[in-house]
Amino acid sequence: MKDYHIHSHFSADSNAPMADMASAAESLGITEIAFTDHYDPDYAITGWPSTLDFAANVREMEETAAAFRGRLSIRKGIEIGLQHGATLDKCRAAARGQDYDFIIASFHCAEGMELSCGDFFRGRTANEAARAFYIYNLETLADYDDFDVIGHINGVDRYSPQLPTHDAYWDLFEELLRLIIDKGRGIEINTSSFRYKMGDHTTPTTDMLKLYRSLGGEIVTVGSDAHLPHSVGDHIDWGYDKLRELGFKYYTSFEQRKPIFHKL
């Protein structure tokens, strides 16, 4: 198994040394991980660092990979927080500035507002917020290609005061999946939904994964989004089992930004 979404002390919300995250993976029998530390330029909350020391981050990934060679494969990734407008130029520069194996593009903000603190949801219903979120995703991704998978695609649900109703946004969600597939990109199963006690409303949900497959989507990575060593690998077996259950034939890893398909 591979865990394709792991943070370290390079992310403002983690203190973990890369070696500790890698050791945790190795002890679980995981064969490959991708480090994906945050770069969120123009983040919508003042005080949250919008920077990442790209060169130092890559250097530590390479040193950790060398230290674990033969025991655990380590891919060089990054999680880039997209926002539309001039921010996209910073995202592109980051994506192209280093020799990454794998790039997750995530929406932690939309319409210049942050999701986790609730700003984005104020003054609108959960359904209105979900629609606005996916419209913002579509507008942004129409202008952006420098990524391999979209991170936690329905992450908006985690922060919404109530879950939106499926029918309220499903047309936009389908359009978003079509756009991702047309671009030759993919999605991830992000098993942090279990840590966030989302129950059956996983990230993405079973219905979302079914729709993705029915539209011809094939690229899927599985990641824990761990920020602490004890979260590494958490529920990733669920992700691989879910893909099998839904009839996916392959899961995906990345090397030098190229998808590699592995039989499930």
- Where along the sequence are the contacts to Zn ion (CB under 5 A)? 79, 106, 151, 225
Residue closer to Zn ion by CB (options 81, 164) is 81
Q: What minimum distance in Å lies between the beta carbon of 214 and Zn ion?
A: 26
Alpha helical stretches, state H, the chain: 18-27, 54-67, 87-97, 126-141, 156-159, 166-182, 192-195, 206-214, 236-245
Nearest to 150 by CA among 116, 176, 112, 115: 176
Contact predicate 252/220, CB 8 Å: yes
Q: What minimum distance in Å lies between the beta carbon of 7 and Zn ion?
A: 6
Residue nearest to Zn ion according to CB distances in the complex = 106
Residue closer to Zn ion by CB (options 12, 168) is 12
Structure tokens at 45: 């909350």
Residue closer to Zn ion by CB (options 104, 264) is 104
Report the 10 Å Cβ neighbour count for 142: 11
Residue closer to Zn ion by CB (options 106, 253) is 106
Residue closer to Zn ion by CB (options 71, 230) is 230
Q: What minimum distance in Å lies between the beta carbon of 151 and Zn ion?
A: 5
Contact predicate 12/53, CB 8 Å: no
Residue closer to Zn ion by CB (options 79, 157) is 79
Q: CA distances (Å), 121 to each of 20, 41, 150, in order? A: 36, 21, 21
CA distance 188 to 107: 13
Sign of CA dihedral 221, 159, 181, 216: positive
